Structure formats: structure tokens, C-alpha cells
Amino acid sequence: MKIRLIAAAVLLSLAAFAPDAQAQSTAQSGARGYVVQGDCDGRPATQVRMAPGYCLGLVWQGPGWRAGQDGPRMPRGLMPLEDGDWLVTDLGAWEADKGAVWRLSFAADGAARWRRLAGGLSMPHTVKRGPDGRIYVSEMNRILTLDPDAADAAASVRTVIGDLPDNRLHDNRHPLSSFVFDGNGDLLVNVGAPSDRCLDAAGKPKVDVRGACVEDAATAQVRRHAYLGKGRWAEDSTVFASGLRNSIALVRHPSGTVLQAENSVDLETPDHPYDEINVLTQGRHYGWPYCVDLATPLPGWPARQARCNEREKPIALLPPHAAPLDLIYYEGAMFPELQGRLLMTWHGFRRTAGRIVAVETDEAGRPLTDIGGRYAIYPRGALPYPAGAPSVNGKVLTPGWDRIAGRHPRGSPVTMATAPDGSIWVTDDRSRAILRIARPR
């Protein structure tokens, strides 16, 4: 792996962008509303301070949610359609049967128009086009397909893979399924961990006769479902990679590299443990619930049980509690400087999150790393990564997405998608918003 040493000042010093003031309005009343002022490539410009040469426009923001309103309650997944419309998955709530899939179109004046294609879903998240050209969506415990162009889209819903683990009742909220298609069409599906650290009420490891976490055999893994052709996948699966607490963020590079962004455990300390980027390899174990960082046993797991030196180490560390939820490779035309870079969303609610970062990669799509790097925190400042540890070498596109009263909320970016014009669309589930990164005119 090529190590790139870049001064922290270059990584973290990003000047503000302020569009020319014209009319000003508030998109939503309350603390989660974005104030817009001026223009961002044809969309109302939010007041989020961006890296030079970028602006953050507001595509849509719903008012404080109430039953019967149009549009998603908690927008998560995002995918453009050929006719200029978009598909948006709506988590709905952290409980079953409240989710939906929506189709977003626009009137001649740019106003958003919503049509609910399917409802009563259980925490839908990922939406992608499959190798057969059909649309696929992940629910908490199944992968489904639907036809967004059907006269009755809800009637077109069909289960592709069912009986995924139902994790909704646990307290640590890793119930969501996510997936990516491998080069041969196989589905690689996330199955999250059902607890934070696999400890009992007394803080002792929950182990089987081998001394391993009892949850490690069937959860906290990415599974492979073989592609059978013609929109069919095997219900039975094999374990592709394990020891992965929450693999919502998955991406496959054209070279075949599969990356996973790990949301690490929820220790109370703000500066530990670090989140991770992992290169997934068949049959490898990546540490959960035994180890974090490069080779540090977690509290509750003695070193003799953790055996951290036998686990696969991350290729790079991310800031503690950043909570990465999406990875995409940028190939659009609007930002030539981002071509081939790995974009990631940091969704968490602590001081490192509320960011979208663009990371340089090698020819296999693996992130280039720094030694001795630093990461930014809100409201200001930067902290060092552990000595000698590889960390992401990234350009922060949204350095000012902290909460600023009267201007905008803390960003909660979930997923991204590249539009046909090369702009980058983003969902913000806590603010019930869809945003667009573009060039300021």
C-alpha cells in the first residue's frame, strides 16, 4: 500500500464558500431546518460551509413529520432513474412495517412531487439496480425487487431472499440489511451484530464451548448468496467475511476489491475506539467483538480470548464514532478532481461526524493512507490518530456541517448517489432532507 504523507494543515484547512445573497428563506421550521440563500447550480443554496469550489443545494426538505404527509419520513437509500426521477427508501421508524419506497419527480418549476410505490416495509435501506436491470431493495430481514414503472408498483414487490435475521428487538440497532453485487452477480449481504460487544448483563463475555462469542457464528458478517440467473439468488448462503459489527457501508470496485466501513463499538469515550475501513477477503475475521483499532482487545474480552493478532486488521482507521454509512466511487463529470475517489458519509451524532469525505485510492480502489494523520472535530480543532496507524487521506467536502443556530442543523448524511450531470445527491434522515453537492455558479 502506498503511503501518502500530507500535512494536516492541507487536509483540514478548507475555506468557506458563501453564495451571493439574494432572497433568503427557511426550508423547515424548527432546529432541523436548513436556511437557504442564493443559488447552488440551480438549487437553493444552504448555508453549510463547503470546501472551495463546492456548494450544498437543497433539493427537498419535509416539514416536521406527521401521518399522511407526502415524502419520506426518514430518507435513506437513493438511486437515479433514466427519466430524471429518483427512488428513495424511507426507513420510516426504528420498528417494523413503517417503511416505504418513494418515487421523486419534479414539476416544471422544480418543486418536488412524491409518489409512494410500496409501503408497510420493515426498515428499508439500500436500493440498487441488479445485474438483470431490475431494482432491488433491502429490508431488515429480506431483499426484494419491485418495478417502479408498473401501474401498481406495490403489486410488483417480490421477495428475492427472505428469512434474514430479524434484529429489530435489540437495543444497539444493527437491524438493517445492506448489499452489494459482486462481479459474477452474487449478492453480498450485511447481517449486523445483535449486541454492542457480546457481553451479558454483568459485563462478562457470552461464549460458547469454544470460548467464542455466541453471536459470532450467525451474525456480524457479510454473507454471499450465489446468483442463479434471471433475477434469482440462492436462499442458502456462505459466510464471505465475519467479525463485522455493522456493514451498512459496502462498495465493490471494478477491479474486484470489496470495501466495508465499520461502525465500531459504542464506548463512552469520545476519542476511542476508531471506526475502520476494511478490505474484505473470503473467509477472514475482522475482529468484532474481540478487538478494535489495529489490535486492541475490547473491555470485557481478555487478550487470550481476543487473539487480536489472528484477526484481519483494517486498511485504515477513521475518526472515533464517525459512523460511516455509505461508500461510493465517484465517476461523474462535474468534479474531475474527484474522479476515482472513494466518497464516504459520516453520519454519527458526536463531534467527528456530519461530514462527507473524498479519499484518494490506488488502482484497486483501496484508500491511500497517512501515517501521523489528524482528524477534525466540531466545533473546531483536530486530534491525532494513534502513532504509526494508517488513517484515511481525505478531503472534507463539508467542513462546516456542524449545527449553527438559525442557519442549519448538524449534518446527518446517510447515502449518496451520482446524478447523470455529475452532481452528488445526499440523504439526511434526521432533518428529513435531500441535498445536492454541485459547483457554485
pLDDT in tens, 38-78: 999 999 999 999 999 999 999 999 987 666 678 999 999 99
CA-based nearest residue to 100, from 116, 85, 86: 116
Residue 349: is its pLDDT beyond 70?
yes
Instruction: Specify the range with the lowest mean pLDDT, choosing from 24-28, 144-148, 164-168, 191-195.
Output: 24-28
Question: For residue range 211-220, what is the model confidence (pLDDT) as tens digits?
Answer: 899 998 889 9
**Cα distance between residue 322 and residue 352, in whole Å:** 5
In the chain, what percentage of residues exceed pLDDT 90? 80
Which is higher by pLDDT, 65 or 293? Answer: 293
Checking phi first, is residue 255 left (phi over 0); if not, alpha (psi -120 to 50) or beta? Answer: alpha
Mean pLDDT of the residues in the chain: 90
Question: How confident is the model at residue 248, as a pLDDT?
Answer: 96
**pLDDT over threshold 60, residue 13:** no
Q: Taking Cα atoms as reference points, which of 239, 243, 278 lies closest to residue 258?
A: 278
**Mean pLDDT of all residues in 95-110:** 94
Query: In the prediction, which pLDDT does 210 show?
Result: 87
Average confidence (pLDDT) over 112-140? 96
Q: List the domains of the chain with CATH numbers.
A: 72-372+390-434 (2.120.10.30)
Tell whether the model's pLDDT for residue 154 goes beyond 50: yes
Residue 300's pLDDT band (cuts 50, 70, 90)? confident
Mean pLDDT of 137-150: 96
Residue matched to cell numbers 447481517: 191
pLDDT at residue 171 in the model: 52
For the cut 50, the answer to whether the pLDDT of residue 169 exceeds it is no
Quote the pLDDT of residue 31. 59
Is the pLDDT at 15 greater than 50? The verdict is no
Average pLDDT value for residue range 284-298: 94
Task: Provide DSSP, 47-116.
Answer: --B--TT-EEEEEEE--S--TT-SS-SSEEEEEE-TTS-EEEEE--SSSTT-EEEEEEEE-TT--EEEEE
Q: What is the rounded CA–CA span in Å between residue 185 and residue 9?
A: 43
pLDDT at 4 exceeding the cut of 50: no
Whether the pLDDT of residue 166 is over 50: the answer is yes
- The mean pLDDT of 288-309, rounded to a whole number, is 91
pLDDT in tens, 59-70: 999 987 666 678
Is the predicted pLDDT of residue 396 greater than 60, yes or no?
yes
Residue 137: pLDDT above 80? yes
Residue 291 neighbours by CB distance under 10 Å: 25
3-class SS of residue 186:
coil
Read off the amino acid at residue 56. L
Spatial distance between the Cα atoms of 378 and 368, rounded to a whole number of angstroms? 24
pTM over the 0.75 mark: yes
Per-residue model confidence (pLDDT) at position 6 = 39
The position carrying cell 469520545 is 270
d(CA 122, CA 93): 9
Phi, psi of 308 (to 5 degrees): -60, -30
Average pLDDT rounded to a whole number, residues 233-256: 97
Does position 422 have pLDDT exceeding 80, yes or no? Answer: yes
Q: And the C-alpha cell for 239?
A: 459466510
pLDDT of 167 higher than 70: no
Burial 292-329 (b: 16+ CB within 10 A, else e): bbbebbbebbeeeebbbeebbbbbbbbbbbbbbbbbbb
Distances in whole angstroms, Cα of residue 284 to Cα of each of 62, 233, 249, 305, 384: 43, 23, 18, 17, 29
Q: Tell me, what amino acid is at 24?
A: Q
Residue 351 has pLDDT above 70, yes or no: yes
Of 268, 371, 312, the C-alpha closest to 2 is 371
Q: How confident is the model over 216-230, as a mean pLDDT? A: 94
Which residues 6+ apart lie within 8 Å of 197 measured at CB?
A: 265, 289, 298, 299, 300, 301
Residues 359-387, mean pLDDT to the nearest whole number: 95
248-269: pLDDT as tens digits: 999 999 999 999 999 999 888 9
pLDDT(244) > 80 = yes
**pLDDT for the residue 313:** 96
